Copies of this chain bind each other. A is one copy, B any other.
Amino acid sequence: MKHFSLEEIAGWDRFYRANFINSLSGFKPVSLISTKSKEGINNLAIFSNIVHIGADPALVGFINRPIDAAPHTIQNIEQIGYYTINHIHPSFVAAAHQTSAKYDVGISEFEKVGLHAEYKVDFYAPFVMESKVQYALELAEIIPIKRNNTFLVIGELKHVFIDQEIIANDGLINLSKVDSMVSLGIDGYCLTSPVARFQYAKPDKDLGIIDL
């Protein structure tokens, strides 16, 4: 294997380095985050740096870039407190990527990219109608990351919409069955195929396999 030191990486062209670093940490759970402003304008934006924080309470986080680079989603969340996260599937992955274009604040990405805002359960922010895994969050905390002026935005789960058939007997949501995509780097998108599940591991005990 080839060794790349930080000194070498720091000397690379900015775009080359960004592609490299963004793919180094692995495939990412890319999704569309949907918000609605105080003025009633829907905003839809693609985020790949989403992270499971905990199951009880059910908390999901995402990294928002510095405010000047990506203001709309975080400002709507801060003002309103509610947002939805929606998985991406191959049928609309190009539209999902197009939400990353810098539209003006008064413009709804839903209309521009051809996705549909779906309102339900009296939730303030819309869901993405085309998405097969939709969940709604209430803002829990915004944690500034001083090192690079990004933010960890943490939400507490309020609602989930999925098909019952993709839930395994023990609660696992089999996302491969609905082709939920992962992203690679800044602009790559992939599908997944199941390999295996393993039982709860214990020292000095053989590991059992569960079907996936």
A residues sitting closer than 8 Å to B (CB atoms) are 1-6, 9, 12-31, 48-61, 63, 65, 85, 87, 90, 93-94, 97-103, 107, 112, 120-121, 132-135, 140-141, 143, 145-148, 150, 152, 154, 156-164, 167-168, 170-176, 180-182, 184-185, 187-203, 205, 207, 210, 212
Contact = CB atoms under 8 A, between A and B. Distances in A.
A122 to B, nearest CB: 11
11 contacts: A1-B162, A4-B159, A6-B58, A6-B157, A16-B170, A27-B182, A49-B53, A56-B148, A90-B195, A94-B207, A190-B192
**A contact face: mostly helix, strand, loop, or mixed:** mixed
Given A51-B51, A97-B198, A203 B148 contact: no
A133 B188 contact: no
